[in-house]
Amino acid sequence: MNILLQPTYFPSISNFVAMAKADSITFETDDNFQKQTNRNRMFIYSPNGLQLLNVPVKHSKVLHQKTRDIKIETDFNWQKQHFKSLEAAYRSSPFFEFFEDDIYPIFDKKHTFLIDLNFEAMTIVAKCLGLAFDYKKTTEYFHEVKDYQDFRPLAIGKKDTSILESYTQVFGEKHGFINNLSILDLLFNEGRYALDYLKKQELK
């Protein structure tokens, strides 16, 4: 299966299900940036339930700006805020401390472009999962694609209708199972078993 995906910030589990099943992975890098998508945000399971972590981006006067040209806003320390939120959410999970040193560089290094941040985040997570992560990037944009299974809509939360098998989450007894969060939720809760979980899931 050849798949086409959007590079997103610590992608949803459904994105990694597609990657775990793929024969080849290609990422869309020539589309126009869309607000209110997971290109610059992820959802985690906080002590209070669902929590959105958003990477601030610089606003441009250009109406249609390419995703690859989107720059990160550096006026405040969003990285420190995100890592503190992850600690509050997952410090007591089975595998947070095991993977903490692997993911921390994302919250310490200063990236200029959102797309570079997203690719580094995905590369680190793939390594933690033990998932081979060889990919290509598009060189031009096509609204419809041949020879690929088009999973680009997974970057738009409302269009991602994936229903995944439940697993144990830190605050599950308090708020119940929350479906299809950031891949970090699965990684911190399931550790090395996460890859087997991904391969067993089905995307509609």
pLDDT digits (tens, 9 = 90+) for 34-59: 988 999 999 999 999 999 999 999 98
Q: Which residues pair with 182 in a beta bridge?
A: 12
All structural domains of the chain with their residue ranges:
2-200
- β-strands 49-54, 41-46 pairing: antiparallel
pLDDT tens digits, 64-114: 899 999 999 988 899 999 999 999 999 999 999 999 999 999 999 999 999
Three-state DSSP state, 55:
coil
Kindly tell me if the per-residue pLDDT of 204 is higher than 80. no
CA distance 199 to 196: 5
Q: What is the pLDDT of residue 42?
A: 97
The amino acid occupying position 100 is: E
170 has pLDDT over 90: yes
Cβ neighbours of residue 84 closer than 8 Å, sequence gap 6 or more: none
Whether the predicted pLDDT of 17 surpasses 80: yes
As a dihedral over the C-alpha atoms of residue 110, residue 125, residue 39, residue 69, rounded to 10 degrees, the angle is 40
CA angle, residues 203, 165, 9, in degrees to nearest 5 = 65
Q: What is the model's pLDDT at position 172?
A: 96
Output phi, psi for 73, to 5 deg: -75, 130
61 pLDDT exceeds 80?
no
- The answer to whether 135 and 18 are in contact (CB under 8 A) is no
The answer to whether residue 157 scores a pLDDT higher than 80 is: yes
Q: How far is CA 125 from CA 90, 164, 167, 181, in A?
A: 16, 19, 19, 14
Report the Cα 169 to chain-centroid distance in Å. Answer: 18
Instruction: Label residues 171-184 b or e (16+ Cβ within 10 Å = b).
Output: beeeeeebebbbbb
The per-residue pLDDT for 167 is: 98
Does the CA dihedral 95-97-98-99 come out positive or negative? positive
List phi, psi (to 5°) of 24. Answer: -145, 145
pTM across the whole model: 0.96
Q: What is the pLDDT of residue 62?
A: 74
- What are the pLDDT digits (tens) for 102-153? 999 999 999 999 999 999 999 999 999 999 999 999 999 998 898 899 999 9
